[in-house]
Chains A and B, each alone.
Chain A
Amino acid sequence: MSWILATPLIVPFVTAVLAFLLRDRPAARWISLGGCVALLLSALVLIQAVLSQGVIAAQMGGWPAPFGITLVADLLSAVMVLITAIIAVAVAGYALADADADMERLGYHALFNVLIAGVVGAFVTGDLFNLYVWFEVMLISSFGLLVLGGRAEQIDGGVKYVALNLVSTIMFLSGVGLLYGMTGTLNLADLSVAVKTSDPALLTVVAMLFMIAFGVKAAVFPLFFWLPASYHTPAFAVSAVFAGLLTKVGVYALIRMFTLVFDHDTGFTHTILLWVAGLTMLTGVLGAAAQSDIRKILSFHIVSQIGYMIMGLALLTPLAMVGAVFYLVHHIVVKANLFLIAGVAERLTGSTELSRIGGLYKSAPLLAVLFVIPAFSLAGFPPLSGFWAKFLLVKAALDIEGWVIAAVALIVGLLTIYSMTKIWAAAFWEPHPEGIDPALTRLEPRTRAALLWPVAGLAALTLLIGVMPEPFVAFAERSSAQLLNPEAYIAAVLGAGS
């Protein structure tokens, strides 16, 4: 039992150590890819176990909960680990061609695998202080990845990223301290029980500390400024994994804490979350409209899409939670893929600045098709995955007569189409301003394969979720039921030790 939960953590750490020792050799990139495939297999075993046995928990070191550190996986954790592993495989494959020799010598593959370990750890831990430690693992490796290469632009973006994320970390730590002072426990399941007897006013204050701390990580309004300042600066293989996974760890932490622990005064906390969701969607999409660089546009769209997930959490109806879980999975795949595609476009045309590129539709029709799938999924076109995600959330909002938030969600979808059309028109439709013919054949065959297979794989996944959404929605329904009725989660953690 405990091995099923611990393997997805051990695999990336072992991979990181091996990749670091062999960082001067080409073998490191294959070790990294192999490690990510092994992670994918262990994630499949984990999700299989959770599907057949329900919530599973393991006490590390044999200390019974709530005294030891608990690893626990419900359906949400398991699917997040799986999707992390999928993104890891895609990005490790892409990095075969995208990570240059300097980055590899400085330990790109090792840092990448430590980052994945941190993300997986945050998803499977059942202990609040342990969550803080995983956040730090994730943070320090993301710092390293962000400034790898050391261009002035990266350093500038890095300073802002580091500064704001450290502030959020300290908020998180203070919240942990206060919550421990109030309840005397840090085990999430135990906390869920213990807060029932705490002073609700004080609990709301602590809930706000956590909302701000995780809100910075998730890049919600008005705490998102570090994201558009830094995500367009590092290598594409780095920014894709950032865009896909990092903010979603913040969203996951918000969902976990505000369904399991802070559900004492939903009228107050979740109303704030609803306002945050609406404003996040709007500011993100309007910010994107003002940008003219592909990666900057996509960065602002991360912010606006985070708003949808927070909206699902804020509405807190069963259907809304289904939408939030579905949206999380759909968004990670789509967003990482769009950043990878931006990387291919940059290689072919020499820039990501829309006024300086073009001609991709004529010269590289395959890339055009691969771009259309995630781009229009992001905007919510049927029959792609984004349509079902948005449909579920808007339906959930209409069901409880949340007309305003439903209207905001629809308008933001419309404005997303504007941004995607802007990229399509400038990068794909118009001829290249310098008359370059950006055909895919300009890349070496091996580079081309390494860059395009991950993109094609993720696009196929988007298409698969879109064409046959039933199993995915059914999964999200079960996951939503678990989140809204955490009895199984609590029993799995506290019952397992006794």
Chain B
Amino acid sequence: METLLALTIGSVIAAAVYLMLAGHMLRFIFGLVLISNAANLTIFLSGRLTEGAPPLIPEGADAPVGPVANALPQALVLTAIVIGFGLFAFAIVLVFRAWTELGTLEADEMRVAEPEPAAPGEDAAR
């Protein structure tokens, strides 16, 4: 199971990196969503996998009986998902706004904040 999950994480990261390097902001966002899920899976996997043993405490006891799944990574992943959701909501709105404002989502053409020098050597002449 660990091997399968590790391979999954690897392929998801590969796909995400491919998307992020495409030079288009929308694909970049999709890549980011994918890679953040891969990071969440990494945390989940690093807490060790335990099959069919939810971390529940039986009534009347102070601690779970026998080996149970590690609950901490699940809490961490949950936190990371919630935070990630907020960030992606913002990022998607920002990219949409960039499209309406700048008229392009090609990374190479987004040069409003950093315009290319009018002529080479212009700054050097100062």
Binding site for B on A (CB under 8 A): 129, 132-133, 136, 139-140, 143-144, 147, 150, 152-160, 162-163, 166-167, 169-170, 173-174, 176-178, 180-182, 228-230, 232-233, 290-292, 354-355, 422
Contacts and interface: CB of A to CB of B under 8 A. Distances in A.
Interface residues on chain B, size class: 35 or more
Nearest to B16: A170
A290 B32 contact: no
What is the predominant secondary structure among interface residues of chain B facing chain A?
helix
Given A162-B91, A162-B94, A166-B32, A133 B46 contact: no
Contacts of A290: 123-124
30 contacts: A129-B76, A129-B79, A136-B87, A139-B87, A144-B90, A152-B101, A153-B112, A155-B102, A155-B112, A156-B111, A157-B113, A159-B25, A159-B98, A159-B110, A166-B91, A170-B35, A170-B36, A173-B43, A174-B43, A176-B76, A177-B43, A177-B44, A180-B46, A180-B72, A228-B114, A229-B113, A232-B113, A233-B113, A290-B123, A292-B123
Given A140-B90, A291-B123, A177 B25 contact: no
A182 B43 CA distance: 11
A292 B126 contact: yes
Nearest to A232: B113
Contact of A156 (B20, B112, B123): B112
A177 B42 contact: yes
B98 A155 contact: yes
Nearest to A225: B114
B67 interface: no
Residue with the greatest number of chain A CB neighbours at <10 A, chosen from B83, B95, B123: B83
Interface in B41-90: 42-48, 72-73, 76, 79-80, 83, 86-87, 90
B32 A167 contact: yes
Contact of B95 (A139, A159, A169, A173): A159
B22 to A, nearest CB: 13
Given A139-B87, A170-B35, A230 B123 contact: no
Contacts of B46: 177-178, 180-182
Contacts of B32: 163, 166-167, 170
A136 B91 CA distance: 13
A173 B80 contact: yes
Given A153-B113, A167-B35, A170-B32, 13 more contacts: A155-B94, A156-B102, A159-B94, A159-B98, A160-B110, A163-B28, A173-B42, A174-B43, A177-B76, A181-B45, A181-B47, A291-B123, A292-B126
A174 B94 contact: no
B94 to A, nearest CB: 6
A178 B43 CA distance: 7
Interface of B: 20, 25, 28, 32, 35-36, 38-40, 42-48, 72-73, 76, 79-80, 83, 86-87, 90-91, 94-95, 97-98, 101-102, 110-114, 123-124, 126
A154 B80 CA distance: 28
B86 A170 contact: no
A374 B31 CA distance: 42
Nearest to A174: B39
A152 B109 CA distance: 13
B43 A152 contact: no
A143 B89 CA distance: 12
Nearest to A176: B43
B39 A155 contact: no
A446 to B, nearest CB: 32
A150 B98 CA distance: 10
A173 B36 contact: yes
Contacts of B123: 290-292
Contacts of A162: 90-91, 94
B79 to A, nearest CB: 7
